[in-house]
Each structure stands twice: as C-alpha cells, then as structure tokens.
Chain A
Amino acid sequence: MTMRSVLLALGFVAIVVWPFLVDNTFYTHIGVSVWMFTILALSMNLMLRMGQLSLAHGAIMGLGAYTAALLMLRLDVPFLPAFICSGLVGALVAAITGPVMLRVKGVYFVLLTFAFGEIIVLMFIDWVSLFGGHNGIFGVPRAELFGFVLRDRSYSYLFALGLAALAYLILRWIYSTETGAVIDALHDDEDLARSLGVNALGYRIGIFIVSGFMAGIAGGFYASYFTFVTPESFTFWTAVDALVMNILGGIALPLGAVIGAVMLVPLPELLRDSQEYQILFYGLILIFFLKFLPDGVVGVIKSLSTDSSRSLGKRFMKILAWRQVK
C-alpha cells in the first residue's frame, strides 16, 4: 500500500461518513446539492469533450425532474421506475433533437441549444395544466429504494453520492475505451476523423444521448429530494453553472467536473447573507481561472505531477510576462 492509496481510501471514507458525524442538516444539504450538480457537470463534460457546448442541459435536467414528479404524482408510479424514466426522457430528447442540432457546431450549436432550452422552460411556465406554471409542482414523494424511504438527508446524501460516483465511473470508462478516442478526435479534427471512416454525427448523437440521460437523472433526483419542481431551477443559468464547474475544475478529466461542482455549488449557499457580493465573487473567480488557470484545477494537478518544475516555472513566467505587458 502506497501513501497515495491510503490517503485516497481515507478521503473516500471521509466523504461517505462526514454527514453522519457532523449531523448538520444545512451542511448535509449542501453536500447533496454538490453531488447532484456533479452529475449534471459530468453530463456537460461529455458534451464539452467532443467540442459541443450545450446550454440546453438545464432544461433537459428540468424535463427529467418534471417527468419524475408527474409520473409519481399523477400516475402513482413508484419512485425507481419514475426515476429511471427521468433519465430515459433526457435520452429521448437528445435522440430526437440531436440529429438536427448536432449538425451545427461552435457558436451556432450554443445558440440553438440556448433557444431549445428556453422553449422547454417556457413550456413549463405556459402549459399550466400539466406543469403548473410558475408555481411548478409540489408534494413530490421522496425517493424510495426497495421499500426504504429516504426521509433523512444523510441518506439522500449517500444516494446522491452513489449516483455521482456511478456517473464518474461511467465517464472514466467511456473515455478509456475506443469511444474516448473518437470523442477526442471529434474535438481535435473532425475532418480527419471522418476521412478515416468515423460516422461523426452518429457518435455525436450517441454521446448526446448518454449525456441527456445523465442530465435527466440529475433532474429525477432533484424532484424527489426537494419534493417540488419549479421552472426557474432549469433555465440556461443552470447549464452555465455546469459549464463553469467544468472550466474551474478542468475539462480534460471527469475529475475536473467533480472538483468544479465541489468548488462552485457551496458558494451561493455559504454566501447567502451577502448576496450582493455573490455574483461579484463568482465573476472574479471565473476571471482568475480563465486568465491564469485555463486548464482548471485538474490542469494544475497535472502540471504538478508531471515534470513539475518546468511547467510550473513556465506558468509562473507566463504570469510575470502578462504583468509586464500590463
């Protein structure tokens, strides 16, 4: 056993048990939010890795949330099938819209997904009889797994952590297989990839479907955890949050999405008393990262672990050079 694996094991145990030791519902709630948004950030990571920034992911998460809420409330579907359906709806939306939206790239795709997401949110607001308008849907039953209702927040925490861990492992697995090579190739040089025989659109759709499923699952969890669903939670700002998490953490590894969620999600909760500074703080952090750490926290870890002195030195020189130019 190396020092590293001991530390990793200890860290893992700490992440699992702290809510039971601290026993503070507010902190536990932040923990639940962190892992829930980790799922969304990971689903966004899939899109970013193949070079397609989607602003519809907040809305897709919303579709998942409303799906779970409506199935459980209106049709008395038990939690687990409703929860899985929330993912399936996310996947279905991706499968239907993907063949159209994924034909365009860059800023056009961003705008298209933005418009699509806003249409979904408007649908939540204006189709009052089904989605309940601005008031949304209240009284969604809590998650119930094999007859055990997750009433206690600590158990919701474990559930969210388990889902996030699963999503993380799935992403790690995808990136390590042949699909990962295609995803990188689509990002780096699509013409080259296609000239060698890759069905680029097909792969993009496939990845969008997996990503949509994960966003839908995040929504399904949301519905049962908060027990209410409102349209404001799923605007394009939610997608922007997921994007910023990836930028802060670093897009290169799925771990970046996790780190980004851990950094970003607690902010609004912890800064609740000074809301006027919250956006400012958020903006400053973002500027700092984009300017000095464009590869996010993961980029820093990477440069520390591989020939540290050279790349760190280089980075430092870069910062100095930038100062001098100023």
Chain B
Amino acid sequence: MPTPQTPAAGRPDGPAAGGLVLLILRRLRDGIITLALVVAVIFVLTNLVGDPALVYAPVDATDEEVERLARAFGLDDPFLQRFAEYFVDVFTGDFGDSHWQKRPALNAVFDALPNTIMLTLAGIAGAAVFGIIGGIMAGARPGSVFDRVNNLTSVAALSVPNFWLGLLLIVVFSLRLGLFPTSGKLGWSSIVLPAATVAIVHGGRIFQLVRSATVEEMSKPYVLVARSKGFPRRTVLWRHVLRNTGLTTATIAGWEYVRLWGGAVFAIEWVFAWPGIGTLMINAAHRQDFFVLQAAVIIAGAFVVTSNLLVDLMYRAIDNRVKAS
C-alpha cells in the first residue's frame, strides 16, 4: 500500500510529516501518554487529596488500626516508590480487591464491560441512522419545514439532561404504555429504552453537525454547476455532495461514540439500572469501594483513548486514500 506524502493542508493539527506508519506510531505514543496521565491523576487524587487508609478503615477504627492498615497497604513507603508501584500494578492488571464484592476489582469491571459496550454500540447505531439521514435531508433544503422541525427537535434533545430523558421514556413507554421493562437487563427488550435515550441525545448532535456540513457543501460552486447542467437535486445530493461530506460524517459519528465513553452513557445506565460500568461505578462510589471505582475509571479511560485513536486514524487513513486517488 503506497503511503502518499501529501502535506495535510488545512488540517487543524498541522502537517503530517511522515507516512501513515509514522503517524500511527505518533498517535499511539500520544495515546499512551494520555493513558499514563489518567493513571497519574487518579493516583495523585487518591493519595494526596485523601488518606487511603482512613477511607478504607471501618468508621469505628482506632488510630492503631488505621496505622496497621496503612502499613499493610505500604503507605509508609516514600511517595515516588508508591507511585512507581502503582503504575506497575495497574499495567499488570492488579487493581486491588473490591471490599464490597469480595473479589478482584478488575473482575467486577470486566463483568460489566460487555454490557456497556453493547449499550453504546446499539445507541450510537440508532443515533447515526437518525442523525445522518435526517441531517443530510435537512441540510439539502435549509429553511424547509422538515429542516425547521428537526432542527428545533435536535436542539431540544441537546438541551435536556440525558438521564432525565431516560426517566421520561420510562414514564411514557414503561409506566403508561407498558411496552418495555423499566430497568435491569432481562431479555432483548431491556436494551430498547436505554439505547433509545442514547440515540435521541447523540442523534441530535450528529444531526446538527451533519446538517451544517451538508449546508456548507451544498453552497459550493460545483453543486451549482451540476444543477445547472440538469442533474436533479436528488442525484447531486446523494452522488456528489454525500461523497464529499462522507468523511466528516463518519468522523462526527466516531467522536460521538468517544463522548459516550467519556461519561455520557454512565448516567443513562444508572437510570435504567443497566448492569454496565456506569452502574457499577456509582454503586462503588456509594459504598466507598475505591478500588473498583479506580479500575472502572482507568478502563473507561483506556476506551476513550483507544476509540479516540481509532477515529483519528480512520479520519486520516480515508483522507489519505482520497488524496491519493
């Protein structure tokens, strides 16, 4: 596969010097640095801001007991040594034991992980379908009734708290109409409402961005040329415009997915008691189970960093192929 040396003009990130391989390596390095930063921040938060021994000790523990706990955790060691040990622990998968679930924290997180992946994928698929098709149709005819109605709806969807929207869906579709279960994970129908919540909120944002991209593309001269040559509007839109906005669109959807892992999906999980990372994390927070909480934040952070990396690379890879042809 040839790696074109075209300078990436007009990209916000500056020119990509080498080929694709170099780019991947550089992005990979950035990703690892970011992940290391996440771990460092969490270590500093847990060790400097609070006293871990005091947090883990029972409420009625005496001073000696707290001190014994501190020694057991190795809290007497120098700060930097503990920092290094923490890093080694995290990257070898040792996140400590959950005192709530009586098992390694990482196992609790891995049990919840597939559920969150399932929900985010189902949600983003719905969001992409509605957002992209709606956005293109609205952007093709700005100012039309379809455009205005959808524009207002999507702004409204972006203006309400996502967890509240979930509660509203529960009231309407579970309590009033009795179509879907209110919460938990019992069979396929349980995923409908949480995924719909994700799809509405994030579909709204995808709609907005795809719409602007389409409006902008439609105002370019080549559209006028094609139209004046007699191509029907529909042909110009789906053959010509779509080909040019496709890359932006794919990237927009990708970044919405990243945003889900950055925290947007977790409150929705909590509303529907969906047994994913978010629900696990809030339960852990309420039980002061910081090992599980740390593990969950770091694993979610790894997902954010990885999906960021993938979206970015996808964007550049497609872009380069377009330039090469």
Q: Do A and B bind each other?
A: no
- Interface, chain A (partner B; CB < 8 A): none
- Interface, chain B (partner A; CB < 8 A): none
